[in-house]
């Protein structure tokens, strides 16, 4: 059944948060429709469960059922524990009184461990939603690169890794490929959302390190293969996300990012099923254009520092 969902996006000022949330809704309901009435607010008409989206999303503060009125909350929160939270996106007047929003609800107020939250987002207009904030707790700090037993300076952070995974629209049980495993950052996040993960790395030390990290977080996967990503030993892949190696911190075995991409795309075309998604993170200057095998769906830019901007290109296997 269609519902109206609200996403309060994180405030990094980049296009990745909206794309990630849309990808999760579309994975569950390809007919989802979206509206962005103002910055950081995404509305979805969808059959997808917003709480399930919230349990996976990285770059969002709240996800839940948008309400037409305060009384609509009763059908969800009756008999549960609930709290009130207000997010103000711009200059507004006095803060609302939580008691005014919680009155009339057959629910116990619990500020520390609620089942649900009555969330008010105050922007150009007010948006009221029922959300599940505790279901969105992801434990990012426990998986940051220096908290893992195997560390390498090329490792990317778990929030960004999760967003890359989510943008592939992979679902539980889908075969997910990481062709440049590195320390396992992306592979770990894919396994945590239930994908069947295969990772590949040409460097033996990195492959062993990624395996150590995966075991540390008690995640099961199909395995890590020490192999050249220009000769992928796998077929039937439904999702791919990777960070193209570059620079001194990553092992490229003498190949430029351009040559790695030129070798990788034909291999991925043979490995991936039609209609599946490939998410590539790469240096901004590396052109990733459409070809006979892939169609470019989106491009996003992530400023790292004054000398480096990373581009995330989302491609769909034709």
pLDDT > 70 fraction of the chain, expressed in percent and rounded:
98
Statement: residue 248 has pLDDT above 60? no
Question: What is the Cα–Cα distance from 248 to 239, expressed in whole angstroms?
Answer: 28
Q: Among the residues of the chain, which ranges form H helices?
A: 16-28, 50-56, 74-77, 98-102, 158-167, 185-192, 204-216, 257-271
Cα maximum dimension of the chain:
67
Per-position b or e across 98-107, b if 16+ CB within 10 A of its CB: beebbeebeb
CATH topology agreement for domains 3-136 and 140-317: no
Per DSSP, the three-state class of 9 is strand
Question: What is the Cα–Cα distance from 142 to 44, expressed in whole angstroms?
Answer: 31
Residue among 67, 103, 62, 61 nearest 82 (CA):
103
Architecture of domain 3-136: 2-Layer Sandwich (3.30)
pLDDT > 90 fraction of the chain, expressed in percent and rounded:
85
Residue 3 bridge partners (DSSP): 46
**51-88 pLDDT, tens per residue?**
999 999 999 999 999 999 888 999 999 999 999 999 99
**What is residue 304's predicted lDDT score, i.e. its pLDDT?**
83
**What is residue 250's predicted lDDT score, i.e. its pLDDT?**
53
> What is the distance between the terminal CA atoms of the chain, rounded to a whole angstrom?
30
Residue spans per domain, the chain: 3-136, 140-317
Question: For the domain 140-317, what is the CATH code?
Answer: 3.40.50.150
Per DSSP, the three-state class of 92 is coil
The residue-averaged pLDDT of 192-208 equals 94
CB atoms within 10 A of CB 108: 13
**What is residue 253's predicted lDDT score, i.e. its pLDDT?**
65
For the chain, give the mean pLDDT: 94
Is this prediction's pTM over 0.85?
yes
């Amino acid at each position: 059944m269609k519902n109206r969902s609200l996403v309060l996006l994180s405030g990094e000022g980049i296009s990745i948060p909206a794309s990630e949330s849309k990808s999760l809704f579309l994975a569950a309901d390809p007919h989802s429709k979206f509206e962005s009435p103002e910055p950081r607010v995404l509305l979805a008409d969808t059959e997808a469960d917003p709480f399930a989206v919230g349990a996976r999303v990285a770059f969002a503060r709240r996800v839940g059922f948008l309400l037409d009125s305060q009384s609509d909350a009763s059908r969800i929160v009756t008999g549960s524990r609930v709290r009130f939270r207000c997010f103000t996106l711009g200059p507004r007047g006095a803060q609302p009184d939580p008691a005014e929003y919680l009155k009339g609800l057959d629910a116990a107020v619990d500020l520390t461990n609620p089942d649900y939250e009555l969330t008010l987002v105050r922007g150009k207009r007010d948006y009221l939603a029922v959300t599940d904030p505790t279901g969105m707790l992801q434990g990012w700090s426990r998986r940051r690169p220096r908290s893992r037993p195997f560390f390498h300076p090329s490792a990317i952070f778990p929030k960004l890794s999760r967003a890359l995974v989510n943008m592939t629209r992979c679902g539980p049980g889908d075969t997910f490929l990481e062709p440049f495993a590195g320390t396992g950052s992306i592979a770990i996040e894919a396994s945590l959302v239930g994908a069947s993960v295969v990772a590949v790395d040409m460097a033996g030390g990195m492959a062993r390190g990624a395996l150590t990290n995966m075991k540390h977080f008690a995640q099961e996967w199909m395995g890590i293969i020490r192999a050249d990503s220009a000769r992928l030993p796998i077929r039937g892949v439904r999702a791919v996300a990777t960070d193209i190696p570059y620079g001194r911190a990553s092992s490229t075995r003498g190949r430029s990012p351009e040559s790695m991409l030129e070798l990788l795309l034909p291999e991925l075309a043979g490995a991936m099923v039609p209609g599946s998604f490939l998410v590539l993170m790469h240096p901004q200057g590396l052109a990733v254009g459409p070809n006979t095998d892939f169609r470019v769906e989106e491009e996003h830019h992530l400023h790292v520092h004054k000398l480096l901007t990373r581009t995330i290109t989302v491609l769909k296997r034709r």
